[in-house]
Amino acid sequence: MVKQIAVLTCSLGVVVLAAQAPEAGGPRFRGGAVPELPALAVGAGEVLLELTVTDAGRVAAATPIRSTPPFTDATIAAVRGWQFVPAKDENHRPVASRVLVGALFRAPTMYATPGDASPIDVGRPPDDIPFPLGTVMPVFPPLAHAGGVVLLEALIGATGAVETTQVMRSAPPFDSAAENAARKWLFRPAYVTPRAEPRYVYLVFGFPAPVMGAVPAPRTPG
């Protein structure tokens, strides 16, 4: 009987610990369009935005933290129309909140080269949203012929690691390349006093179609 009680107590303890595991906070993406690929861009780009989301789930502001023209304007134009399921307080009432959007655009080449992007830090990230400490450029699928833009939802755990990813806006055949790159990102986790907490972030990966060099015209004799 004593052993049975001990096992039951241990089992209940496991249940209680699981119930107390922190849930990811912040708003959740409901709908919206992905950014358009700037037609005249010749290099890569990295954009980080802090979105202010109202208690109704609308984007009230999109503040750049890291910018690479012309990709910043294209990303802001898209996210201003996004809709979210708003965050909730401890009483389950909708509240205004913030969320991070990161966008990484490849250069229009098959192979990425170091120094393609020249992003500029133009703001300071708040503590209550995750912030990437290292990003990874996705590879371009060798069999792809056109371009595409993928939107992912990524859960950033209390350690700063990417725990899960989910495709929110698909662009085959680029989805797998985007998810593989996103899982290698490392974040500073969100801090809500007095501890780090899991949060969702939204990552955009742009794959412009590679631009092939023009074939030089044959020289005429003379």
Residue 15 included in any domain: no
Residue 219 included in any domain: no
Contact 67, 112 (CB under 8 A): no
pLDDT at position 127, please?
A: 96
Residue 100 included in any domain: yes
Residue 64 included in any domain: yes
H-only helix segments in 38-197:
71-79, 175-182
Does residue 10 sit in helix, strand or coil? helix
- Overall number of domains in the chain: 1
Produce one character per residue of 63-94: b if its CB has 16 or more CB atoms within 10 Å, e if not: ebbbbbeebbebbbebbeebebebbeeeeeeb
Residue 67 included in any domain: yes
pLDDT at position 221, please?
A: 54
Contact 59, 86 (CB under 8 A): no
Among 77, 94, 76, 78, which Cα is nearest to 86's? Answer: 94
Residue 220 included in any domain: no
Cα 10 to Cα 185: distance, rounded to the nearest angstrom: 37
> What tens digit of pLDDT does each residue of 107-119 get?
998 766 554 558 9
> What tens digit of pLDDT does each residue of 85-103 get?
999 998 999 999 999 999 9
Tell me how many degrees the CA angle 168-172-173 measures, rounded to the nearest 5.
Answer: 130
Contact 153, 205 (CB under 8 A): no
CATH number at residue 146: 3.30.2420.10
CA 63, 66, 69, 71 dihedral sign is: negative
**CA-CA distances (angstroms) from residue 203 to 89, 171, 217?**
25, 14, 42
Q: Which regions of the chain are under pLDDT 70?
A: 1-24, 111-117, 212-222
**Tokens 């996210």 -> residue:** 79
User: Could you tell me the residue range of the domain that residue 203 belongs to?
Assistant: 23-207
Provide the 10 A C-beta neighbour count for residue 163. 13
The pTM (predicted TM-score) of the whole model is 0.84
Peptide bond just before 194 cis, omega within 30 deg: yes
pLDDT at position 210, please?
A: 87
| Structure tokens given for 201 | 């972030």
Count the helix, strand and coil residues of the chain and give each as a percent rounded to the nearest 5. 15, 35, 45
Residue 51 included in any domain: yes
Helices (H) and strands (E) in the chain, counts: 3, 15
Residue 34 included in any domain: yes
